[in-house]
Structure 1
Amino acid sequence: MPDDLFLIDGNSLAYRAFFALPESIATSTGFPTNAIFGFASMLVKIMTEHGQKPTVVVWDAGHSGRKEVYPDYKAQRTSRPSLLKQQWPHLEEIVDAFGYANVRVEGFEADDVIASIAEKARHAEPPVPVTIVTGDRDAFQLIDDDGLVTIMATARGITDTKSYDRQAVIDRYGIPPELIPDFYGLKGDTSDNIPGVPGIGDKTAATLLQQFGDLETVLASIDEISGAKRKENLTNHAQDARISRDLARMNRQVEVDLDPTEAAAREPDRSRLREVFREFELRDPLRRLEEALGSSEEAAPAAPTESQVGAVVREATLEDVTALPAGAEVAIAVHAPEVAEGELFAAEPTWRFGVFPTADDARDVLVGEAARPEDLVAALGDRPVVAHDAKELGLVPPGLALDTMLAAYLLEPARRGYPFAELCEERGFGTAVEDPAGAAAVLCAALAGWQREQLADRGLQGLMDEIELPLVDVLRAMEVAGVKLDKPRLAAIRERVHDEIVALEREVWELAGEEFVLGSPQQLGQILFEKLGLSRKRRGKTGFSTDARVLQAIRDEHPVVPKIERWRELNQLAKTYLDVLPNLTDEESRIHTTFLQAVAQTGRLSSTNPNMQNVPVRTELGREIRGCFEAAEGMVLLSADYEQVELRVLAHAAGEQVLKDIFLRGEDVHTATASQVFGKPAEELTPMDRSKAKMINYGIVYGLSDYGLADRLNIPREEAKEFIDTYLERFPAVHAFMTGTIEQATDQGHVTTLYGRRRQIPELKARNYQVRTLGERLAVNTVIQGTAADVIKLAMIGAHRALREEGLTTRLILQIHDELLFEGPPEEMDRVRELAIREMVAPWPHDPPMAVAPGVGTTWLDAK
């Protein structure tokens, strides 16, 4: 028997992909790709699971005369969504690259063309088995008795499929495939605007056909059918039912210039596939595609159009590296030593290095061994160096000219990660160099060359040179320095907290009248809302929500709620800090967090092991934990914190003079805002007035909606909306800035900070209102928060440099949001205080100016 012929309904697959996947899926340049991603993923799935098969993708090219039969056929369908319209021309290119055929017959829908090809295949000599891939269930009518035609129906999402033969259709609907048109004649089809009979759905239609046999028999047996309304509808809409059946019945006689017996599996154009997949940044589908093609004995070899970077391997020593021409840029890579199991201490491990000049005429790549990566960096001196994730070298090259990880981050800040091999594969860079470190150095040079072009095209080179690259050395120095932990003090707090956790758990059980798992939202919800009957606020995926805002809203309804809130606070702090921090210290009781420079899309830094950005400060226990971070013996800590940095950025970016004047007068911005919004003098304001104003101030920056504000302040939504509207009336330039930012981002597809950092906002073009409003919030927030992030990065660079230039022993050891933490001898603190203020203010030559609040103490808490 001939190989299976796959017939794919292109329109069905493309539309299903578009509507199943988030519209925010886009390339780093903002081009939408959700339909392309889903469509390509399905083709990869077919190839992965079924191998190379003769495959035809069929497209709509008319209505097959159905409009003449029923003018309202598909009349409810709007024009193709604009985001899908942009992607549509590229779908056939993908099909071609797979080696599949694109087929359309003018005047006919894809399903009729598919039906006709399937019919020819069934009656061919010998018969050709057919698998039809579609999301339309009316195609079940094409399944035959002999098992020659089966349906691969897309289900949830896009690559979740189920195969149907004759028995599977009977099992699902209770009727055989040949009655599917009659089934649709009775129930109709809203997606195609096929009317059917009012009041008859899937279950009733199937029951009637099981009882009477086919549509005509059903209509001839109306007197035997129960239900007066059903009889009436069948009588009055008998002709609609017949028309609906005929609309649903597929035409198997379309003339198609395709011989199923001659269709053969064509080899995919691997080079073109890679090119298309890389163009649209289809990383995961490309990985799965490469696996599928690589495992096939008949897979075509890599095409010569791939970017192969040539080089001659030359074994070298560190002395040879030192002897390279001064000033010549080199790309470097190091590979960790491979130590066999059980031989960890058998010999001194060595690192393999590769050094490759980036000049176009370079041919030699130097490879050798070093005891440590730092030794290679030292041998390079101050030469311009290109590396991937240079901070991980231990010693940052003083001449760092480009970091390919950071360049990838600036170009694609929404990406999940930046693995070097993946970045090179996506661009099609390859090399015949077999030495791993040498090959990595060669590829690093190629990747850097491409990235430089992209950085220049998008105006990001200045951001790279002035902020991101200089910051690498600062972060590494901070990681090495670490911060000292008072372990005995923390241990005492831990013991007390665990005792309180146990006591709280018992008290909660007593108030609830039974024992349950406090950490289980489902069990907690059952206790609060079913057993105790407390107010239900928001429904989640597994029941009514028990999150922090819900508990805050019902706090006064039962004494168990405050105890649960306290238990949660203590339990979280214990798991995150009290139980963990002592295990992360070195022999000097210092903690060395790792700063992550390429994670947040706004440009903000984060940290891990431990996450120092989230060490709490607002609660009493949180402050106690901060008090456990201390200065080394004989030293003190200086904390320098920006005052309302984001609101000052907002005032400048919006050109809001009223807000500028508040800062220039040195007033408390939240009190002054409350006076503006509530129309009261400062002395008449209540603490709640100021709290509301503070929430509105930061809510504007973070895109807080009236719903979100109402939820946080536990006030009616109407009142929250009135607060926001009044705020925007009092600060009209802020309103204009927000509106203008959203309009510009919608038009351009991205926003930029005042320092040129760029972020794509594809959500702004989504049809879904909630996704679109999320995009609006992201657009405004990114400009403000991203600019603030750039400011503090520049401040870190300036402070670190100034400490060295002035010969001080004080070190910058932490950055936490808007705060810098220094450690040094007490006698230097007057100079450090002046230096910190000067360097933190310097990056912002605008009105209103930045303000910095410094403090000194032996612990982080005291300094804060």
Structure 2
Amino acid sequence: MSKFVLIDGHSILNRAFYGVPIFTNSEGLHTNAVFGFLNIMFKIIDSKQPDYMAVAFDVHQPTFRHEMFKDYKGTRKPMMEELREQVPVIKELLQKMNITTVELPGYEADDVIGTLSKKGEKAGMEVDVISGDRDLLQLASDHITICIPKTKKGQTTVEEYNTEGVRKLYKVTPTEFIDVKALMGDSSDNIPGVPGIGEKGATAIISQFGSIENAYDHADEISNTRNRNALLNNYEMAQMSKTLATINIQSPVEVTPEQCKLEDIYTEDALEMIKRLEFKSMIQRFGSVTSTNDCEGGFKYINNPFDADPIFEQAKNAENVGIFIYRNKDNFGVSLCFNNGNVYYIGKEGFVTEDYIIEKVRDLVNAKAKLTILNIKENNDILGNDDVESIFDISIAAYLLNPLQNTYDYDDIAREYLGMNVPAFDEIFPKTKKSETPSDEIPENILKYACYNAYVAYKAKDALTEKLKETEMLDIYNNVEIPLTYALYDMEQAGIMVAGDKLKEYGERLKTGIDALEKDIYAEAGHEFNINSPKQLGEILFGEMQLPGGKKTKTGYSTSASVLEKLEPDYPFVSKILEYRQLAKLKSTYADGLAVYIGKDNRIHGKFNQTITATGRISSTEPNLQNIPVRMPLGREIRKVFIPKEGCVFIDADYSQIELRILAHMSDDKNLIDAYNHSKDIHAATASLVFHVPLEEVTKEQRSNAKAVNFGIVYGISSFGLSNDLSISRKEAEQYIKDYFISYPGIKNYLDNSVKKAKEKGYSVTMFGRRRPIPELTSGNFMQRQFGERVAMNSPIQGSAADIMKIAMINVAKELKEKDLKSKIVLQVHDELLIEAYENEVEQVKDILKRNMEQAAHLNVPLDVDVQVGNNWDEAH
């Protein structure tokens, strides 16, 4: 029997929109609903294996199946703009996938689905209807199954209902379900129902009488007085609700089920659109479908030195050479593209050895050939140079131009800056994750992958350079981001030493503490349970122990940190739970987690990334060394396991209040500038102004509160946030902020102007010209717009701080090399630099650090740097 799948387009799109975090592609188009819709659709296709498929949509400006009731249906909540803009996108994509879409003016999608499902059943098909709308349960039969997607713990499951399923759930038949819906109403679908009759009452009435009309005729037999009176007093409303709830199964749909034949959905046109939408995880579904590009005809494989030597010589004098180095444990090669656009892949084979290729690449670098590459840092071990003028990095340029993207691969850049759809890694090596060695690396695939990388690098350089000029970011590209790649490379190579025995000892101490807490918690609870299970913990705290403040959700009581922290002062048991969590986190993430990354040289060589954060900050991964906890004593102890090698010490230099100092400079607020220039305690000075007391009379609490306001203002803190931070009323918090802005009027003007300019331009700008797009400012969602305004206030400050640190880091690394010192930067954490310094170089390094960090930018206030020396990271900090 043929399978016919009908999808309720708007219902599933709406569900996907709210189930997938909002995001955009590089063109600024919101795509989360389309992404979620496709995931659900592909899951349905995989599991149902349909022969026929159609997607029904409501008409954009719908008329109503019952015109007299349009006041009810017409009050539906309007669609958010971020969702509305995705409707034509999914329709276009479905068309490109040869999937039938149906919409009928004057009728809703429910009517279209109802009519087609019954036609399909009549034609002898098994029909599956996919929708989040339970209205459609009335269509269920022995051959029509209503499938309702549900998300549980991040996984999409599907509940299925046929005649028996509806009867089991509601104790009525699918047809009788219309009457149940009419009595109980549905606010989401603007069906008013009968006041006073809920789902339980509606089910009881219809299961007994079969219909609203029969129940009305036998009202004296309704045992529940409230339900009886409600029906008698609102019978007309009940009948109207029934009319609203009834799906039209005889609407004039011209499409027949047979015309919805599902054939080849993985088309080339659809693939190109999937790429434009940047749904990389879906590309491999399209299998062998690839975009045809004329450039592939120019891809040439070279495997002997006689042909390779002239190519390398020509490249030395070319105006631009796109280069890509392909390497893994089995294969090695370099692709070059220049002059006429031909691309040559010179692969390891016979006399073309790995050493030969590396030597030729370094000859190009030494000859100052104009190379363009994707990711200098990852290839610097072969490039072996820090000449910023001769090598152009397209990934860094693309990041600067749009720091909100997730990836900056060659196919992303081709699509964004060349208007080309080229096969991505996932297409060329569909069986392999990007972090792995391709299992299907046949020569043709290697040739294609390597050549596309070089080709895109060659072609994109001019477009990216022009864009950098247009956006006035060529200077920050040349003088900050590119020099930084070499400083980061050197830092990764240096690594940081870890005392493995101390780390192990630290982990054992944590385990002892965890075990002791576990016993205490079990003893107080009266039995053992999974402390790490929020559900079980919630039942213990708010069910068995009856603690106040329990908020029950669908999955149980909330046991988030914010909930437990409110209970902690009055309940020692809760304090132990929080301490247990802290110790468990420290052990798993640091004591155990860091040990995995220690190399044979007893050092951790982490990765430092410059194309991840939207603000420009450097991030750390594998492992994240920038997230070492410092607020609690046991957390700070982790820093003690990081030690310098023999004959060295650590020198740590940390900017003091850099973001507040930048705020003083950028706002040009006279009071804040005066406080810094006269070396006042900035938090005490703020307290003096805000609380109207002499500086010498400021209390410890007033200073602490002023400190919270000072740092909160930088991040656009609200009165609600400040009231939570200080445990004061919202009214008091509002007054604090109001008094703060009276004390520092320049800051208020600056923050307001920052938001205004960002709304006008669509982005914020740092002191050094770095842009941060803020699409949230034009969102139809109030919370998103509020977030955008906070970003507009904070990004110029945080981004400027990131730029200053980068400049300082570049200059420190440069001077250490110029003076032929052996000391090296081993770590960068936000506003802090850590150097492993040889004992005979300590004074020189301290001077280099302090001077270069303080002179990295010229502000209206001094940049203050604190420099400390120690035998481990904790001592030096």
TM bucket (normalised to shorter chain) is 0.7 to 0.9
Shift in alpha-carbon separation, 1:747–1:535, aligned structure 2, 3 A: farther
CA distance in 2, matches of 1:244, 1:495: 67
Q: 1:231: Cα distance to partner?
A: 2.1
Percent same amino acid at aligned positions?
33
Q: Which amino acid is the alignment partner of residue 91 of structure 1?
A: I
**Post-superposition CA distance 1:7-62 (Å, at most 9, x none):** 3333333333334433x322234322233223333443344344574333333346
Q: Is 1:352 equivalent to 2:332 in the alignment?
A: yes
Q: Is 1:715 equivalent to 2:724 in the alignment?
A: no
Shift in alpha-carbon separation, 1:788–1:231, aligned structure 2, 3 A: same
Q: 1:220: Cα distance to partner?
A: 0.7
**What is the match of residue 99 of structure 1?**
98
Verify the 8 A CA contact 1:707 1:717 in the aligned structure 2. yes
Q: Which amino acid is the alignment partner of residue 333 of structure 2?
A: F
CA distance in 2, matches of 1:14, 1:325: 51
CA distance in 2, matches of 1:530, 1:118: 47
For structure 1, list consecutive stretches of 5 or more residues without a partner in the other structure. Answer: 339-350
**Post-superposition CA distance 1:425-474 (Å, at most 9, x none):** 99631499935554333121244344863675473554443333221211
CA distance in 1, matches of 2:731, 2:71: 43
Q: Is 1:326 equivalent to 2:326 in the alignment?
A: no
Equivalent of residue 362 in structure 1, options 311, 325, 342:
342
Q: Which amino acid is the alignment partner of residue 313 of structure 1?
A: Y
**What is the match of residue 298 of structure 2?**
310
**What is the match of residue 11 of structure 1?**
10
CA distance in 2, matches of 1:659, 1:332: 51
Answer with 214-223 or 765-774: which moved more.
Answer: 765-774
**What is the match of residue 752 of structure 2?**
739
Equivalent of residue 381 in structure 1, options 365, 370, 386:
365
Q: For residues 284-683 of structure 1, what are the structure 2 equivalents within 5 Å?
A: 284=281, 286-287=282-283, 290-291=284-285, 293-294=286-287, 301-302=289-290, 304=292, 308=296, 310-316=298-304, 323-328=313-318, 329-338=321-330, 351-368=331-348, 369-370=353-354, 378-382=362-366, 383-393=369-379, 395=381, 397=383, 398=385, 401-407=391-397, 409-410=399-400, 413-415=403-405, 428-430=421-423, 434=443, 437-448=446-457, 449-450=459-460, 453=463, 456-457=466-467, 459=471, 461-485=474-498, 536=549, 542-545=556-559, 547=561, 556-557=569-570, 572-573=585-586, 575-577=588-590, 585=598, 589-621=602-634, 625-683=638-696
> What secondary structure sits across from 2:85 in the alignment?
helix
> What secondary structure sits across from 1:639 in the alignment?
strand
CA distance in 1, matches of 2:93, 2:703: 58
Q: 1:94: Cα distance to partner?
A: 1.5
Q: 1:331: Cα distance to partner?
A: 1.0
> What secondary structure sits across from 1:312 in the alignment?
strand
Equivalent of residue 153 in structure 1, options 148, 158, 161:
148
> What secondary structure sits across from 2:71 in the alignment?
coil
Shift in alpha-carbon separation, 1:41–1:463, aligned structure 2, 3 A: farther
Q: For residues 162-181 of structure 1, what are the structure 2 equivalents within 5 Å?
A: 162-181=159-178
> What secondary structure sits across from 1:429 in the alignment?
coil
Q: 1:233: Cα distance to partner?
A: 2.0
> What secondary structure sits across from 2:333 in the alignment?
strand
> What secondary structure sits across from 2:268 in the alignment?
helix
**What is the match of residue 238 of structure 2?**
241
Q: Which amino acid is the alignment partner of residue 210 of structure 1?
A: S
**Post-superposition CA distance 1:687-734 (Å, at most 9, x none):** 222222222222222343333333333334433333223223322332
Verify the 8 A CA contact 1:370 1:376 in the aligned structure 2. no
CA distance in 2, matches of 1:478, 1:792: 15
Q: Is 1:755 equivalent to 2:768 in the alignment?
A: yes
**What is the match of residue 217 of structure 2?**
220
**Post-superposition CA distance 1:565-592 (Å, at most 9, x none):** 6666566545554566677555664443
Q: Which amino acid is the alignment partner of residue 378 of structure 1?
A: R
Answer with 717-726 or 213-222: which moved more.
Answer: 717-726
CA distance in 2, matches of 1:686, 1:837: 33
**What is the match of residue 697 of structure 1?**
710
Q: How many residues align?
A: 836
TM-score by length of 2: 0.84
**What is the match of residue 129 of structure 2?**
132
Q: Which amino acid is the alignment partner of residue 81 of structure 2?
A: S
Shift in alpha-carbon separation, 1:527–1:64, aligned structure 2, 3 A: closer
**Post-superposition CA distance 1:282-334 (Å, at most 9, x none):** 333x23xx42x43xxxx8x5453697473111114597776453254241222
Q: Which amino acid is the alignment partner of residue 310 of structure 1?
A: G
Q: 1:208: Cα distance to partner?
A: 1.5
**What is the match of residue 344 of structure 1?**
none
Shift in alpha-carbon separation, 1:354–1:696, aligned structure 2, 3 A: same
CA distance in 1, matches of 2:705, 2:378: 45
**What is the match of residue 348 of structure 1?**
none
Equivalent of residue 33 in structure 2, options 18, 35, 38:
35
CA distance in 2, matches of 1:557, 1:591: 42
Answer with 74-83 or 384-393: which moved more.
Answer: 384-393
Q: 1:479: Cα distance to partner?
A: 1.9
**What is the match of residue 719 of structure 2?**
706
Shift in alpha-carbon separation, 1:330–1:743, aligned structure 2, 3 A: same
CA distance in 1, matches of 2:582, 2:31: 42
Q: Which amino acid is the alignment partner of residue 723 of structure 1?
A: Y
> What secondary structure sits across from 2:316 in the alignment?
coil
Verify the 8 A CA contact 1:377 1:395 in the aligned structure 2. no
CA distance in 2, matches of 1:101, 1:542: 42
Shift in alpha-carbon separation, 1:728–1:574, aligned structure 2, 3 A: same
Shift in alpha-carbon separation, 1:496–1:16, aligned structure 2, 3 A: closer
CA distance in 1, matches of 2:124, 2:584: 68
Answer with 94-103 or 493-502: which moved more.
Answer: 493-502
Q: 1:211: Cα distance to partner?
A: 0.9
Answer with 476-485 or 644-653: which moved more.
Answer: 476-485
CA distance in 2, matches of 1:534, 1:120: 57
**Post-superposition CA distance 1:113-136 (Å, at most 9, x none):** 33333444444xx54554433333
**What is the match of residue 342 of structure 1?**
none
Shift in alpha-carbon separation, 1:270–1:821, aligned structure 2, 3 A: same
Answer with 618-627 or 267-276: which moved more.
Answer: 618-627
Shift in alpha-carbon separation, 1:245–1:96, aligned structure 2, 3 A: same
Shift in alpha-carbon separation, 1:713–1:521, aligned structure 2, 3 A: farther
CA distance in 2, matches of 1:262, 1:791: 63
Shift in alpha-carbon separation, 1:151–1:307, aligned structure 2, 3 A: farther
**Post-superposition CA distance 1:195-214 (Å, at most 9, x none):** 22222233322222221122
CA distance in 1, matches of 2:701, 2:240: 66
Q: Which amino acid is the alignment partner of residue 794 of structure 2?
A: N
RMSD over aligned CA atoms reads 3.9
**What is the match of residue 210 of structure 1?**
207
Shift in alpha-carbon separation, 1:716–1:370, aligned structure 2, 3 A: same
Q: 1:354: Cα distance to partner?
A: 1.9
> What secondary structure sits across from 1:26 in the alignment?
coil
Answer with 446-455 or 424-433: which moved more.
Answer: 424-433
> What secondary structure sits across from 1:733 in the alignment?
helix
CA distance in 2, matches of 1:620, 1:689: 25
**Post-superposition CA distance 1:789-822 (Å, at most 9, x none):** 1221121112212222233333222212111122
Shift in alpha-carbon separation, 1:598–1:636, aligned structure 2, 3 A: same
Shift in alpha-carbon separation, 1:32–1:462, aligned structure 2, 3 A: farther
